[in-house]
């Protein structure tokens, strides 16, 4: 059996004035390594929303879609004005990931999404986002444990989640209470039709969803790629995704 090809949309890195660094497309190595380690062929996808023929040619060669963390989803995508706490956005990345999700739904290709990935998945289905959890949900706990010089680890277990037991996620993680890392300031507000919540933070913020219409479509708000070496359930998220893609 051949190794399944997994598509990962890149993100725009703007060029620096003076030409020292041209505009680039980038993606974190940890995502690629997590997929490669379980037998996938990772394919980094350029952001060419104005070239549908090229994008279709790439999409047709993929066996699965992996949606990663990154900058905020542009609020215009879900019909809202920009909140002062909304961060940087990447319209080209939004466009390509929405195209990828449309392709996955049309062809039945499996999807695994993390952090920003759960957010763009929700937006693609017609849902909305809290543009900043702290500002818009007064009762919310701290979710934005971004690495600092004092706490540089991306695997820091910030809080626990409660997992819905009769879900695919529950069967993969194998526990109803799971500690996770947390590096986000946005989250699902209005859940899209076609998605069901499968995990919650202690404050009620949705931490995971699954599709009710696709064979394999799991999205989580945390970063499981940073926890695969310490939590077997996180590794099973990736191995089951690759098995579905194969």
Q: Which of 115, 159, 210, 217 is catalytic?
A: 115
Q: Which of 103, 143, 185, 223 is catalytic?
A: 223
Only one residue has tokens 């999700």, namely 101
102 is catalytic: no
SS3 (DSSP) at 136: helix
Residues 43, 45: Cα–Cα separation, whole Å: 6
207 is catalytic: no
Please give the torsion angle defined by the CA atoms of residues 245, 9, 183 and 38, in that order, rounded to the nearest 10 degrees: 30
Residues 32, 109: Cα–Cα separation, whole Å: 19
Contacts of 79 (CB under 8 A, 6+ apart): 128
Sign of the dihedral defined by the CA atoms of residues 9, 160, 142, 151, in that order: negative
33 is catalytic: no
- Name which of 203, 194, 244, 245 is nearest 221 in CA terms: 203
Q: Please enumerate, as own/partner, the contacts of 14-20 that have beta carbons within 8 Å and a separation of 24 or more.
A: none
**Annotated catalytic sites, by residue?**
115, 223, 225
């Amino acid at each position: 059996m051949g190794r399944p090809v997994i598509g990962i949309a890149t993100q725009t890195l703007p060029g620096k004035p003076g030409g020292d660094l041209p505009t680039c497309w980038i993606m974190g190595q940890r995502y690629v390594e997590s997929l490669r380690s379980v037998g996938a062929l990772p394919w980094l996808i350029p952001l060419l929303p104005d070239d549908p023929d090229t994008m279709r040619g790439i999409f047709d060669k993929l066996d699965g879609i992996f949606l990663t963390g990154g900058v905020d989803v542009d609020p215009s995508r879900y019909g809202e004005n920009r909140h002062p706490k909304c961060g940087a956005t990447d319209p080209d990345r939004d466009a390509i990931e929405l195209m990828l999700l449309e392709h996955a739904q049309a062809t039945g290709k499996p999807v695994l999404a993390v952090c920003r990935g759960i957010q763009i998945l929700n937006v693609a289905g017609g849902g909305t986002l809290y543009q900043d959890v702290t500002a818009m949900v007064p009762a919310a706990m701290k979710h934005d444990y971004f690495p600092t010089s004092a706490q540089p680890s991306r695997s820091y277990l910030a809080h626990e989640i409660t997992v819905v037991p009769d879900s695919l996620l529950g069967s993969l993680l194998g526990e109803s209470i799971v500690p996770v890392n947390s590096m986000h300031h946005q989250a699902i507000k209005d859940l899209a039709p076609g998605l069901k919540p499968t995990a919650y933070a202690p404050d009620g913020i949705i931490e995971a969803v699954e599709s009710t219409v696709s064979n394999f479509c799991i999205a989580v708000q945390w970063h499981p790629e940073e926890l695969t070496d310490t939590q077997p359930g996180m590794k099973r998220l990736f191995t089951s995704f690759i098995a579905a893609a194969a």
